[in-house]
Amino acid sequence: MMRVIVTMVLAACIALPVHAELMIRITEGADNAIPVAVVPFGKADGFQPSENISQIVHEDLAMSGEFKPLATERMLSLPTNGDDVFYRDWRLLGQKYLLVGQVQPAGGDKVSARYELFDVNREKRIMGETASVASNNLRTLAHHISDKVYEAITGNKGVFSTRIAYVTLDMENGKRIYRLNVSDVDGKRASVRLKSSEPILSPAWSPDGKKLAYVSFETGRPAIYIQELANGKRTRIAQFPGLNSAPAWSPDGDSLLMTLSRDGNAEVYKMDVASRKLTRMTDHWAIDTEPDWSPDGDSFLFTSDRSGGPQIYMMDADGGDLRRLTFGSRYNARPRFSPDGEHIFYVHQRDSYFHIARMNIESGEETILTRTKLDESPSVAPNGRLLIYATQEGGKSVLAVISADGGSNYILPSRFGDVREPAWSPFLN
Amino acid sequence: MIRTYSKLFALLVAMGVMAGCSSTGGTQEEGAYGSDVSAVDQEGGSEVYGGEGSSGVSSQTMTDEERAAQAEQAAQQEQAAMRKITTFYFDFDTSEIKSESRDVLIAHAKYLAANPNRSVRLEGHADERGTKEYNLALGERRAKAVERFLVVNGASRDQIETISYGEEKPAVMGHDESAYAQNRRVELIYQ
């Protein structure tokens, strides 16, 4: 009866670098993108930093879709501090904002950057700061500067210092190899956290950003694990008969919603992480799965085919007030709340294609956000401005990032095989 | 099943005809055989057939038990042939067992019922369209639909293990309906 299933799990890793690093291709920005000039930062004489910080800031701002950074070769001057700025030069080039700065060694193993942001029209310095990091961590410093610039101009927190988790699938010597990875939001600094010859699915960040819950088939059967990112320590928290899938953290991080079929068919359960106590949340002969907790913790979303095909429902966390939210087509699934709890993002079938759509919960107004087909696994950035999802390009699965109000921003293909199941981290501070 | 019976019928008819023809001809009255064979007999009975009718004679004495055993053997061969089919396909977003799968699944169910020490693993799969977690649940529902069908037809629940891989293990790579149709499936694997 019991068949020995040989599974290759090179165990959970604290961080294995490289292989799964993604490339980035920026596709387009918003029509009303804000013109900003990021002037190449000055460097102390003879200092050779390992990363080009101002170039990373330039790319971050372009990647957001909300900015249109000026190409360096069009700049009329290259100031590195406020005293050298001639506003007229930048007004001529139609720039609204200007970032200048300098990078220098800061003693020990540290590097610091002093940078200033100017409002060109008001001829005013609106932000300035000196920040330092370990010299092998310059991308962290660059993303920090991008976040500060983004927030100073838009009033919203930037997400350039957040991270994404995703799963890659490669064929190696005729075998399927799955890897769970974590990288920066531009696909850089990727590291492998789990490798297996059996499927890995549904990574979900804990609200403090320190743990990932996910589904792995490494024992031959699906089970839900929680893995601490700092040390690779992990715990198998659910391996009941049948399905163990779709983990979703509560906003306080104390419990997980998950899909189990231990009582016959797919139902949503709540598990208290400390005690492992289970509470059944749904009770229907249809499929109930893909839960997502509301940001205030008062309710949750899930997919159910109780109407005949998959549709999205919302229920109070105490099990009351069941409401069907989607009616627009025969297939609506895998919902995710926006961080403010006002919208949901989900997979929506139109004709024979699957797109990502957004709905205002209050009004029911539905907007289809993507032009790609076969889209799945939407995950919203913690500032609610961007959305990452998986789609197909050239027969391969790739990740794509779009503005949460539409417009394609960038694509993250894997150098080798497929990349799927993206999950955007919370703010990591 | 219909095919099994019709083969058996053809076999019995053939045996009956041979038995009749090989009996010692000539002395029998005309018309002793059915009209379809009498004309042959008029040509000279056993001479025509060379008299080597031993097989015919023996078949004439075949008992009901032997006949049943022969039928049973034919049926078993048929069932074994059917059991070579171990993949069952589904339409998009359904777990309904297709009519063409039923006879084969009944053959597997009978075999499991007759061999309580054998067991199967049912692996449910979905095509890549739609969402991964819903597809996991859909693959499970397909596997369970097959499990139920096997149990209703005589297998024991203890002989069956189900697992769903959702869209994770396609049988065929590709992004068109022909690939999708081959990927929406349950695979029955004897352990």
Question: Which pair of structure tokens corresponds to residue B111?
Answer: 């075999």
Chain A residues with at least one Cβ partner in B under 8 Å: 1, 3, 176, 199, 201-202, 217, 220-222, 242-243, 245-246, 259, 261, 265-266, 287, 289-290, 303, 305, 309-310, 331, 333-334, 347, 349, 354, 374, 376-377, 392, 395, 420-421
Give the model's confidence band at B66: pLDDT under 50 very low, under 70 low, under 90 confident, else very high.
Answer: confident
What is the mean pLDDT of the segment spanning A145-149?
Answer: 98
> By percentage, how much of chain A surpasses pLDDT 70?
94
Nearest alpha-carbon partner for A216 in A373, A384, A9: A9
Q: Inform me whether the pLDDT recorded for B151 exceeds 60.
A: yes
CB contact under 8 A, B133 and A334: yes
Cross-strand pairs, A423: A165
CB contact under 8 A, A333 and B162: no
A420 residue type, one letter: R
What is the mean pLDDT of the segment spanning B55-80?
Answer: 76
In chain B, CATH 3.30.1330.60 sits at 85-190
User: Which residue in this structure is represented by tokens 């359904």?
Assistant: B94
pLDDT digits (tens, 9 = 90+) for A100-132: 999 999 988 999 999 999 999 999 999 999 999
Which among B164, B175, B191 is the nearest to A3, CB-wise?
A: B191
What is the mean pLDDT of the segment spanning B79-100?
Answer: 93
Q: Inform me whether the pLDDT recorded for B3 exceeds 80.
A: no
Kindly report the pTM of this predicted structure.
0.85
Residue B129 with chain A: CB contacts under 8 Å: 354, 374
Q: What angle do helix axes B132-152 and B99-114 make, rounded to 10 degrees?
A: 60
φ/ψ (deg, to 5) at B182: -80, -20
Find how far residue B84's CA is from the centre of its chain. 10
B160-166/B120-125 β-pairing: parallel
Q: Inform me whether the pLDDT recorded for B27 exceeds 60.
A: no
Q: Inform me whether the pLDDT recorded for A234 exceeds 80.
A: yes
pLDDT digits (tens, 9 = 90+) for A304-361: 999 999 999 999 999 889 999 999 899 999 999 999 999 999 999 999 899 999 999 9
pLDDT digits (tens, 9 = 90+) for A224-233: 999 999 999 9
Residue A222 with chain B: CB contacts under 8 Å: 136, 163-164
CB contact under 8 A, A242 and B140: yes
Give pLDDT, residue B60.
56
Residues of B (161-180) whose Cβ lies below 8 Å from A? 161-166, 168-169, 175
User: Which chain A residue is nearest to residue B158, measuring alpha carbons?
Assistant: A1
What is the mean pLDDT of the segment spanning A375-400?
Answer: 94
ipTM exceeds 0.85, yes or no? yes
Q: Inform me whether the pLDDT recorded for A395 exceeds 90.
A: no
Look at A236 and B14; give whichever has higher pLDDT: A236
Closest Cα of chain B to A226: distance in Å?
A: 18
pLDDT digits (tens, 9 = 90+) for A57-106: 999 999 999 999 999 999 999 999 999 999 999 999 999 999 999 999 99
Helix, strand, or coil (residue B185): strand
Q: Specify the DSSP class assigned to residue B125.
A: E
CB contact under 8 A, B129 and A354: yes
Residue B112 with chain A: CB contacts under 8 Å: none
Which among B130, B164, B191 is the nearest to A243, CB-wise?
A: B164
Question: Average per-residue pLDDT in chain B?
Answer: 77
Q: Inform me whether the pLDDT recorded for A397 exceeds 50.
A: yes
Cα–Cα distance measured from residue A93 to residue A89, given in angstroms and rounded to the nearest whole number: 7
Q: Inform me whether the pLDDT recorded for B50 exceeds 70.
A: no
Q: Are A423 and A166 in contact (CB under 8 A)?
A: yes
User: Which residue in this structure is represented by tokens 């950057």?
Assistant: A113
Helix, strand, or coil (residue B62): coil
Which among B119, B130, B133 is the nearest to A1, CB-wise?
A: B119
B120-125/B185-190 β-pairing: antiparallel
User: Which chain A residue is nearest to residue B128, measuring alpha carbons?
Assistant: A374
- DSSP conformation letters of B5-31: HHHHHHHHHHHHHHHHHHS--SSSPTT
Closest Cα of chain B to A78: distance in Å?
A: 49
Whether the CB of B191 is below 8 Å from some CB of chain A: the reply is yes
φ/ψ (deg, to 5) at A136: -90, 15
Domains of chain A, CATH where assigned: 9-24+162-424 (2.120.10.30), 31-154 (3.40.50.10070)
Cα–Cα distance measured from residue A345 to residue B131, given in angstroms and rounded to the nearest whole number: 13
For residue B120, give the H/E element and its range. Answer: strand B120-125
Whether the CB of B137 is below 8 Å from some CB of chain A: the reply is yes
Cα–Cα distance measured from residue B181 to residue B59, given in angstroms and rounded to the nearest whole number: 49
What is B85-190's CATH number?
3.30.1330.60
Q: Inform me whether the pLDDT recorded for A1 exceeds 70.
A: no
What is the mean pLDDT of the segment spanning B93-98?
Answer: 95
Helix, strand, or coil (residue B89): strand
Residue B140 with chain A: CB contacts under 8 Å: 242-243, 261, 265-266
User: Which chain B residue is nearest to residue A302, measuring alpha carbons?
Assistant: B134
Give pLDDT, residue A414.
81
